[in-house]
Chains A and B, each alone.
Chain A
Amino acid sequence: GAVVSQHPSWVICKSGTSVKIECRSLDFQATTMFWYRQFPKQSLMLMATSNEGSKATYEQGVEKDKFLINHASLTLSTLTVTSAHPEDSSFYICSAVLAGVLHEQYFGPGTRLTVT
């Protein structure tokens, strides 16, 4: 149980285009999902907290107009990288929190984004 999927697993896009990444909790409901970004050989950096039915909360330094997050249901959050640039190339990992259970967080398999 407690499986989180991400789609796509990898994507290549051209500069200036937008790309959407989906994060789904497959067998549980998640009122909260998190989005992390990881550059090569670095740690995971929390980008934003996605709450079902409300606006996402962004960490300091993360552009909310560039990284659009939508959490439309208890099992799906999406991250859209708008007007992507090569410096946005990174490994994006989402996690989902089991509804009502503090700190019970499950991680998705990640999405490798390459912007050319």
Chain B
Amino acid sequence: ELKVEQNPLFLSMQEGKNYTIYCNYSTTSDRLYWYRQDPGKSLESLFVLLSNGAVKQEGRLMASLDTKARLSTLHITAAVHDLSATYFCAVPLPLRNQFYFGTGTSLTVIP
């Protein structure tokens, strides 16, 4: 069974600070996805990481993937209130389309 764990589950941080969310998964996969979810809403795609060593950045968010360590990180730089949301990583089963989602990280950015 594929397990996808995120750390931390809850994160409260002040505006302007930096922090990293971690996503560990238990099986071989060469890609990983990050999503954002606002309350009552569906998923918004943030990043698609398609290979070992992939790094992508969009605004104050940067994601990376280490397939050997089965680890992805989502780094937040100089947080702002608008980043408050729940963030999920998702890992697809190899050669199949099923995605398994991480436990989620609920981020609250405090002014």
Using a CB–CB cutoff of 8 Å, the interface residues on chain A facing chain B are 32, 34, 36, 41-46, 49, 93, 95, 97, 102-103, 105, 107-110, 112
* A43 B103 Cβ-Cβ under 8 A: yes
Q: Looking at chain A's contact residues, is the secondary structure mostly helix, strand, loop, or mixed?
A: strand
Inter-chain contacts of A41 with B (CB < 8 A): 106
Chain B residues whose CB sits within 8 angstroms of the CB of A110 once the complex forms: 41-42
Check B101 for interface membership: any CB of A closer than 8 A: yes
List the interface of chain B (C-beta within 8 A of A): 31, 35, 40-43, 45, 88, 92, 95, 97-104, 106
Which residues of chain B come closer than 8 Å to A112, judged between CB atoms? 40
Q: How far is the CB of A94 from chain B (nearest CB, A)?
A: 9
Q: Which of A43, A95, A108 contacts B102 (CB 8 A)?
A: A43
B41 touches A109 (CB 8 A): yes
Q: CB-CB < 8 A to B42: which residues of A?
A: 93, 107-110
Nearest CB of chain A from residue B26's CB, rounded to whole Å: 15
- A97 with B97, Cβ < 8 A, contacts A41-B106, A43-B104 known: yes
Which chain A residues lie closer than 8 Å to B103 at the CB level? 43
A97's nearest neighbour on chain B, judged by CB, is: B97
